[in-house]
């Protein structure tokens, strides 16, 4: 996959995320997608990713802005840097109570790409910064 295709895939990934297009989003993933959750565990498969998205959409209203995508020459790896603009809607397990707090969080992600789809995603952001912003 040329790196321009990889960049377009990652752009489409975040466009689907911003649109809350769960089916479109999941269509960009391999069936055995690996998701390394920031400061959490590793989840495998589309069913696990669907459950993650459902929790995210219930607890958070988020939009990705200032997206910058980088890829390697053969398009098998990509990285993205961006800002998450969000509102904390519903309390998430193990985190401070939700009261509609707004936040702006610098973040990044690393991707493995296989057969034109995302095969692995590892997200990273400063959880302590987020907790500080929501008043935890």
| Per-residue pLDDT, 4 | 80
Q: Which residues contact 31 (CB under 8 A, 6 or more apart)?
A: 45, 46
- The rounded average pLDDT for each run of 10 residues, N- to C-terminus, in the chain (136 residues) is 82 94 94 89 92 91 96 95 96 92 96 96 93 88
Q: What is the DSSP letter of 1?
A: -
| Per-residue pLDDT, 1 | 53
Please give, one letter per residue, the 3-state secondary structure of 36-96: ECCCCCEEECHHHHHHHHHHHHHHEEEEEEEEEEEECCCCCEEEEEEEEEEEECCCCCCCC
């Amino acid at each position: 996959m040329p790196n321009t295709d990889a960049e377009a895939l990652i752009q489409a990934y975040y466009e689907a995320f911003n649109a809350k297009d769960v089916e479109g989003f999941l269509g960009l993933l391999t069936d055995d997608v690996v998701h390394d959750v920031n400061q959490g565990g590793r989840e495998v498969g589309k069913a696990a990713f669907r459950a993650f998205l459902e929790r995210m959409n219930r607890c958070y209203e988020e939009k990705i802005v200032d997206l910058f995508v980088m890829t390697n020459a053969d398009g098998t790896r990509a990285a993205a840097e961006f800002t998450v603009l969000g509102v904390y809607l519903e309390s998430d397990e193990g985190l401070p109570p939700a009261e509609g707090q707004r936040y702006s969080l610098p973040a990044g992600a690393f991707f493995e790409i296989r057969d034109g789809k995302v095969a692995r995603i590892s997200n990273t952001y400063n959880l302590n910064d987020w907790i500080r912003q929501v008043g935890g």
